[in-house]
């Protein structure tokens, strides 16, 4: 029987598991979390019990390295010690490692009390914790709406939801017919109703350009921005808040795909019509192939699971995926990143959060003939060398300094030296 | 998540949370926003909330560099805050 290993138990991975099973494969599903569902199905893990009872389900399983299709796994609590090391050698591998929020830097974004939109959502939906009492939600993209709803749900007061793109960009990109087709209409109407009921303004063409505070955020400065996100002088407003939630879309987490030898296009894994990567037996689905949301991720996962089991995906599955992807592309066009955003930065604005490398440090290094190229720039400024390994600042540093972001992280997740030195391996 | 209360300590001080919450969830729920110091001494807590930014690192039962947003809190956990500050 074909053995398919699925890495990631979010919408893409779970759909891949379900379809690989249906196609007759023996399926193992791994996730770092101790419950299935990924970032999307938070608090709804019970819905996947039946599916996972038919698979080999490994929760709390961190894939720290890949060599081709060989999967190196650590099993045990997150960042623990003495986790058990395993290796798997499947016939096919489905990578469904998802995405994290993308946040563009702005002065003060490193202050405690500034969160990604995804953090606010995870804490509200998963743990019933409100990140603040008086919260401003800002950035770009439709994800800000469910975040605001979840925050309201756990008792936070939302000062406003700010979409940086102007109304004409957002509305020209939205396709109501496509939204209706995918059942997204009800969701939108619900968000609009929730915001209206709680008198939360949704303002387009306005961005957070600074967070202020000493030991924590206390104020957010917002301003009207043009279509390219350049600030309109004189439109600044200051809001007293105790939490600020920001998201400018999402970035895929392709390090395992890179480790497997898959090619990337603009940070996303390149896949063929049946979700096959360029590496034999390795498939990719969901946000790592392009940001598309849960419906597109599940549709891709279905195709990937079927193909990974060695079967040809049916036309209905392919069509469903193509529709979901087309909707995602229109949505992305409605919420682009304005090219003039670096206008928010000041010389002392932190860009690399881990190493506290500032915009000024980076510009000095770029101008210095002694540090040519991204490698010297990194060593000279330490940007990207901290614990997050450039996950937060990599794309921004590449954009500001010229060059392309690299996702090459041979050790994809931290493994303790004792665990690495321990010769014991388990099948 | 159920509603069973749990108790952990943070630098010796008792903090109450709910079973099923992460260490980050317990600390934020108790009104703590930061628990790590950077190289410059600046305070940090949760940023990404899903294990990607490594801002929320702390020490759990003597084991350093645990992501608070990814570790489920257990009753009786002893948490220590961390610093990367030089000479700290």
Query: Quick one: pLDDT band at residue A178, thresholds 50, 70, 90?
Result: low
Query: Quick one: pLDDT band at residue B2, thresholds 50, 70, 90?
Result: low
Query: Quick one: pLDDT band at residue A185, thresholds 50, 70, 90?
Result: confident
Separation between Cα atoms, residue A102 and residue A249, nearest integer Å = 5
The interaxial angle of helices A373-381 and A359-367, nearest 10 deg, is: 130
Nearest to A100 among B29, B52, B70 (CB): B52
HSE toward the beta carbon, residue B64, CA cutoff 13 A? 6
Region label for B62, one of left (φ > 0), alpha (ψ between -120 and 50) or beta (otherwise)? left
**pLDDT for res A223:** 98
Residue B13 lies in a domain: yes
* Superfamily holding A106-248: FAD/NAD(P)-binding domain (3.50.50.60)
**pLDDT for res A175:** 64
Separation between Cα atoms, residue A81 and residue B61, nearest integer Å = 11
Q: Which of the residue ranges A103-112, A119-128, A401-410 would you say has the lowest mean pLDDT?
A: A401-410
Chain B interface, Cβ < 8 Å to A: 1, 18, 20-22, 24-25, 28-29, 33-34, 38-40, 42-55, 57, 63, 65-67, 69-72
Predicted TM-score (pTM) of the model is 0.95
Compute the average pLDDT of residues A364-390: 86
Instruction: Note which residues in 91-120 of chain A have CB less than 8 A from chain B.
Output: 100-101, 110, 112-116, 118-120
pLDDT in tens, A390-418: 999 999 999 999 877 878 888 899 999 99
Q: Where are any strands of DSSP class E within A241-340?
A: 243-248, 250-252, 264-265, 268-269, 282-284
Residue B67 lies in a domain: yes
Residues of B in contact with A100 (CB under 8 A): 48, 50, 52-53
pLDDT in tens, A281-327: 999 999 999 999 999 999 999 999 999 999 999 999 999 999 999 88
Neighbours of B66 (CB within 10 A): 24
Percent of chain A with pLDDT over 70: 97
Nearest to B55 among A43, A123, A353 (CB): A353
Burial of A49 (0-12, 13-18, 19+ CB in 10 A): exposed
Residue B68 lies in a domain: yes
Residue B42 lies in a domain: yes
CATH of the domain at B39: 3.10.20.440
Separation between Cα atoms, residue A277 and residue A264, nearest integer Å = 10
Separation between Cα atoms, residue A4 and residue A281, nearest integer Å = 9
Q: Which residue of B has its CA nearest to A34?
A: B72
Longest dimension (CA), chain A: 67
For CATH 3.50.50.60, the residue range(s) in chain A are 3-100+251-313, 106-248
Strand partners, A247: A139
Residue B38 lies in a domain: yes
**pLDDT for res B47:** 98
Spatial CB neighbours of A179, under 8 Å, sequence gap ≥ 6: A185, A188, A327
Residue B22 lies in a domain: yes
Compute the average pLDDT of residues A52-73: 95
Spatial CB neighbours of A202, under 8 Å, sequence gap ≥ 6: A145, A160, A161, A163, A192, A195
Structural domain boundaries enclosing B75: 5-83
Residues of B in contact with A124 (CB under 8 A): none
Residue B88 lies in a domain: no
**pLDDT for res A38:** 93
Res. A41: pLDDT tops 90: no
Region label for A134, one of left (φ > 0), alpha (ψ between -120 and 50) or beta (otherwise)? beta
Res. A169: pLDDT tops 60: yes
Which uninterrupted H or E stretch holds A152?
Answer: helix A144-153
Res. A173: pLDDT tops 90: no
CA distances from A189 to A179, A185, A186, A285 (A): 11, 6, 5, 29
Residues of A in contact with B45 (CB under 8 A): 112
In the numeric block, which tokens belong to residue B32?
Answer: 């703590």
Res. A215: pLDDT tops 90: yes
Residue B20 lies in a domain: yes
Stronger pLDDT, A45 or A91, i.e. the higher one? A91
Spatial contact of A136 and A244, defined as CB atoms under 8 Å apart: yes
CATH topology of domain A3-100+251-313: FAD/NAD(P)-binding domain (3.50.50)
Query: Quick one: pLDDT band at residue B1, thresholds 50, 70, 90?
Result: low
**pLDDT for res A177:** 62
Q: Which of the residue ranges A207-211, A297-301, B3-7 would you say has the lowest mean pLDDT?
A: B3-7
Query: Quick one: pLDDT band at residue A180, thresholds 50, 70, 90?
Result: low
Stronger pLDDT, A171 or A401, i.e. the higher one? A401
Residues of B in contact with A392 (CB under 8 A): 47-48, 52-53
Q: Which residue of A has its CA nearest to B22?
A: A127
Which uninterrupted H or E stretch holds A63?
Answer: strand A61-67
Q: How far is A388 from chain B (nearest CA, A)?
A: 5
Preferred mutation among A8, A61, A122, A411 to probe B, highest tally of B CBs within 10 A: A122
**pLDDT for res A156:** 98
Question: How many structural domains is chain B composed of?
Answer: 1
Q: How far is B13 from chain A (nearest CA, A)?
A: 20
Query: Quick one: pLDDT band at residue A172, thresholds 50, 70, 90?
Result: confident
**pLDDT for res B57:** 97
Preferred mutation among B17, B23, B40, B52 to probe A, highest tally of A CBs within 10 A: B52
């Amino acid at each position: 029987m074909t053995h398919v290993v699925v890495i990631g138990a979010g919408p893409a991975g779970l759909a891949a598991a379900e379809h690989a099973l249906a196609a007759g494969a023996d399926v193992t599903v791994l996730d770092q979390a101790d419950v299935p569902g990924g970032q999307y199905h938070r608090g709804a893990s019970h819905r996947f019990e039946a599916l996972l009872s038919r698979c080999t389900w490994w929760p709390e399983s961190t894939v720290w390295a890949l060599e081709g299709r060989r999967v190196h796994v650590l099993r045990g609590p997150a960042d623990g010690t003495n986790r058990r090391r395993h290796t798997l050698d499947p016939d096919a591998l489905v990578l469904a490692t998802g995405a994290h929020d993308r946040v563009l830097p702005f002065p003060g974004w490193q202050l405690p009390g500034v969160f990604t939109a995804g953090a606010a959502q995870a804490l509200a939906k998963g743990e019933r914790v409100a990140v603040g009492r008086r919260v401003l939600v800002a950035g770009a993209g439709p994800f800000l709406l469910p975040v605001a709803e979840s925050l309201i749900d756990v008792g936070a007061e939302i000062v406003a939801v700010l979409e940086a793109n102007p109304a004409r960009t957002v509305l020209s990109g939205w396709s109501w017919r496509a939204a209706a087709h995918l059942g997204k209409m009800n969701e939108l109407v619900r968000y609009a109703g929730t915001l209206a009921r709680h008198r939360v303004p949704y303002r387009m063409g306005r961005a957070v350009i600074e967070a202020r505070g000493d030991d924590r955020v206390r104020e957010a400065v917002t301003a009207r921005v043009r279509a390219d996100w350049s600030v309109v002088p004189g439109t600044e407003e200051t809001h007293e808040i105790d939490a600020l939630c920001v998201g400018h879309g999402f970035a895929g987490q392709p390090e395992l795909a890179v480790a497997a030898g898959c090619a990337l296009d603009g940070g996303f894994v390149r896949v063929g019509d049946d979700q096959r990567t360029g590496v034999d037996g390795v498939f990719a689905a969901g946000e790592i192939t392009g940001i598309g949301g849960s419906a597109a991720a599940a549709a891709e996962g279905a195709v990937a699971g079927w193909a990974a089991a060695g079967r040809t995906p049916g036309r209905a599955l392919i069509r469903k995926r193509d529709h979901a992807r087309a909707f995602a592309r229109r949505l992305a066009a409605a919420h682009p990143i304005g090219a003039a955003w670096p206008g928010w930065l000041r010389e002392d604005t932190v860009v690399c959060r881990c190493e506290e490398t500032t915009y000024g440090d980076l510009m000095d290094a770029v101008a210095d003939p002694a540090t040519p190229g991204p490698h010297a720039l990194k060593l000279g400024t330490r940007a990207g060398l901290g614990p997050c390994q450039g996950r937060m600042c990599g794309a921004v540093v590449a954009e500001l300094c010229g060059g392309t972001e690299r996702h090459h992280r041979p050790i994809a997740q931290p493994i303790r030296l004792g665990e690495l030195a321990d010769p014991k391996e388990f099948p | 998540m159920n509603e069973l209360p749990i108790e952990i300590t943070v630098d010796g001080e008792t903090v109450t949370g709910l079973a099923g919450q992460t260490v980050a969830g317990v600390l934020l729920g108790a009104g703590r926003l930061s628990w790590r110091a950077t190289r410059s001494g600046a305070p940090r807590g949760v940023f990404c909330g899903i294990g990607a930014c490594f801002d929320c690192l702390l020490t759990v039962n003597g084991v350093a560099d645990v992501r608070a947003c990814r570790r489920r809190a257990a009753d009786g956990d002893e948490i220590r805050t961390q610093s990367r500050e030089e000479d700290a």
